Amino acid sequence: MTTRTTFYFSRTRNKRFYSPDGNPMGRIKDMLIELTGSRPVVLAIKASIDGKERILDFKAFELVKAVTQYVIKCNQVIDYTIPENSHSIFLAESVLDKQLIDINGRKLVRVNDIRLVIIPGGVFVIAVMLASRDS
């Protein structure tokens, strides 16, 4: 049986992440996802460390649910370089709080949150949570 944990992007955004020994290292600002392939996978995290913005490889991060909140650990600081021909986007910058538009150009609804799943193959986007429509 495959173990999976789901979480909402908003539960990690602007949250602190910690070293393996529990010391605060920085804050998560955004997540970079790759759009090619069958599932959008998290590649990197945009983080604020000592007031500087850095993009870090997501493979060094671990998300642990502790009672009702998540603890994010960074086992090693590894900078991530976005390839030139990358088909990747940042979730907060490009999706969160943005209007979805149908193929005819009509605005539909705003994205409230993004649901992700942790499975042995990685962390993947599985759904967008939409704001309710005003009648």
Q: How do residues 16-41 score in pLDDT, each as one tens digit? A: 999 999 999 999 999 999 998 889 99
pLDDT at 2 over 60: no
Q: Which residues contact 50 (CB under 8 A, 6 or more apart)?
A: 26
| 112 vs 99: CA distance, rounded Å | 10
Strand partners, 88: 34
CB atoms within 10 A of CB 41: 19
pLDDT score recorded for residue 128: 87
Residue pair 16/72 in contact (Cβ under 8 Å)? The answer is: yes
Closest Cα to residue 4, out of 121, 133, 135?
A: 121
pLDDT at 13 over 70: yes
**Averaged pLDDT for residues 69-79:** 91
pLDDT at 132 over 70: no
126 — pLDDT class (breaks 50, 70, 90)? very high
Computed over every residue of the chain, the mean pLDDT equals 89
1 — pLDDT class (breaks 50, 70, 90)? very low
Q: How do residues 82-110 score in pLDDT, each as one tens digit? A: 998 889 999 999 998 888 777 777 777 88
**Tokens 């049986």 belong to which residue?**
1
- The tokens describing 122, both together, are 């990685």
pLDDT score recorded for residue 129: 87
Q: Where are the beta strands (DSSP E) in 75-121?
A: 88-90, 99-101, 107-119
For residues 41 and 128, the model is more confident at 41
Alpha helix segments (H runs only) across 1-135: 91-94
